[in-house]
Amino acid sequence: MKTISEYSSTPLSKNELPSIFALSQAELNEFLIKHNFSQFIGPIIFQSLYKNKKDQELSPLITKKLNEEFDFYLPEINKISKSDDGTVKFLLSLKDGKLVETVLIPFHKKYTICLSSQVGCAMNCSFCYTGKMGLKRHLKTEEIIGQYLVAFNYLKQISGFTPATPNIVFMGQGEPLHNPQEVKKSILIFTEQKGLAIGPRQITLSTAGYLPGIKYLHDFPQINIALSLHSAINEKRNELIPINQHFPIEDIIHEIDKLPLKKRQFITYEYLLIKDFNDRDEDALKLAQLLSSKKAIINLIAFNPFPGSHYKRPETGDVLDFKQKLISFKLRTMIRTTKGSEVLAACGQLNTRE
């Protein structure tokens, strides 16, 4: 078997073959049994694909069969943009030539990979540069997996050693719950013990509040959930997130309240603070009225400007003041540090207009 790095530079020559990276361990085992191979080879294949382990060599017969039946293509790096804070943004080319962005973010000796779930996005949020693209198409499971592998492989190369497995946030291009089946399948593969073995609590999915997709979360592994709230006032949220007109915040919160949470697990409510828009006393009060009885953590994010945006970024002092207002209402509140803004890699800045 080749290593991941060898596959990532292998040109695609068999467009019709299914991707090996779309298979769960169980599906791979079924394939092996169907073709008269032992299912116990499945874990060895998984370790070779996802951990670059080659403790046990596969027979030429199995290797030949896999190459005949599956595509090992990974997205190709079109461009790399590096920020002074260590953030790396990848512009990746997919098989059909569509482009998508993935971000590698450093956090206290541990990295997080921000994954996209779609090319573009249908939500058209006014604060988000991706929304200006519109939705081009949903990503397939193997394209979501592929983003992670390309970014992780890059990290291994620049580190000179095998770093800890990065966390995952579905906060890149697209609304993950507008593409729930492919996102769920990718999460199941990410958490396979013989593969990357990423724990569910190492994975965070952020949604703008797409209610039909939120209902799918009951069937997901018990990952961390973040809601892009940004205002507890429907009129303001309607401007920021147009789908709020169809799925108002009260209905979304009602559905989120149904999700089972572990003892120390909270729902994260992301609040993009915009100067002179949602940073007033009434905004803090409405937020407290909405969330004071919930297992909630407020994640304050200073708005990140992008070309053509009419919103303004608040001053650091304003963010701290708003945090104190929320704390006075006994809301658990954190401030998310902006990463990669100068290369348009921060929250709401991804865009791959062609």
Catalytic residues: 101, 347
Structure tokens at 338: 């902006």
Show the DSSP H helices in 224-315 as ranges: 234-240, 249-256, 281-291
Residues 6+ apart with CB under 8 A from 131: 121, 123, 124, 125
Residues 6+ apart with CB under 8 A from 308: 132
Structure tokens at 72: 């090992």
Beta strands in the chain (DSSP E): 76-82, 88-93, 99-107, 110-114, 118-120, 135-138, 167-170, 203-207, 224-228, 267-273, 296-302, 332-335
Nearest CA to 301 out of 209, 351, 204, 229 is that of: 229
For residues 100 and 142, what is the distance between their CA atoms, to the nearest angstrom? 13
The residue length of the chain stands at: 354
- In the chain, count H helices and then E strands: 11, 12
Question: In a 10 Å sphere around its CB, with 0-12 CB exposed, 13-18 middle and 19+ buried, how is residue 65 labelled?
Answer: middle
Strands 110-114 and 99-107: antiparallel
Q: Which three-class secondary structure state does DSSP give residue 78?
A: strand
